[in-house]
Amino acid sequence: MALRTHIVYLIIIIGILGAWIVLGPADKREITEISEPALRVETPTFEEGSFASELDLAEQILQLEAQNRALQDALGALQQEFASLQEQQALRTENTDTAAVAEDLSIEELTQDQLQRAEYDFIDVTNLDEQLATEPVDSSWAYEMETNIRDLIITSNDLANLYLKDIQCRTTICVVDFDVQDSESGFDTHKFHLALREQELFSFEDYSYVTMYDTNNGTAKWIMQKRNAD
């Protein structure tokens, strides 16, 4: 009787061991299969960082494109003004003597030189905020420039669409911010450049400048810098 009992116990133990051997790897596979998705969950963290970097790069590209368009607008306005001066000169030379013609030609040569210098002497606006923050203030020059700028805006009928918001002048640079009151008419860069010429407050031999217009919020910016600032 005792022998049979031992045999039964032995069979039960062998069955339990067999079941453990069969079921053991399955449990391990289950654990492995459960752990794999946990590893995959961490993957989006890297992808989100890459996406954020791509957004920053896209924003920088858009800013550079906007600056490039602004520079092209400034050059286009100067070229239009130069064409207008040429037409005016043609009308004057019809009724002038040789001396007057020679004088007009010298003016034309000067205008061409100014246009060429403006074309190759654009202001780098990428570090504008840093320059305003670090450049010291020349009180005398800054006061003179601020006074002339305010007089220009107040006295020019062509600039009645602009509302002066802020003027920041340092030692070599002035940054002027405007609100454009009539968003439909916008900011006419050609009229702005003509107004600068007519007022004779600023010499283009001494200063280079650029104008920028943001159609999204209806604001304009005028940046003027000494040509010999470097």
pLDDT in tens, 82-112: 777 777 777 766 656 555 555 554 445 545 5
Residues 6+ away with beta carbon under 8 Å from 67: 125, 126, 212
Length of the chain: 230
Residues 6+ away with beta carbon under 8 Å from 190: 77, 80, 81
Q: Are residues 187 and 95 in the same domain?
A: yes
pTM of the model: 0.47
Pair of tokens at residue 67? 């600056």
Q: Are residues 217 and 129 in the same domain?
A: yes
Span 220-229, mean pLDDT?
Answer: 83
Q: Are residues 95 and 207 in the same domain?
A: yes
pLDDT in tens, 163-173: 899 999 999 99
Is 64 inside a domain boundary? yes
Contact 183, 214 (CB under 8 A): no
Strands 207-214, 162-169: pairing is unpaired
Number of domains in the chain: 2
**Confidence class for position 119, pLDDT limits 50, 70, 90:** very low
Is 48 inside a domain boundary? no
Residues 6+ away with beta carbon under 8 Å from 192: 77, 158, 159, 211, 222
- Of 5, 208, 201, the C-alpha closest to 115 is 208
Determine the structural domain holding residue 29 and report its residue range.
1-41
User: Can you tell me the distance from the alpha carbon of 211 to that of 153, in angstroms, rounded to the nearest whole number?
Assistant: 15
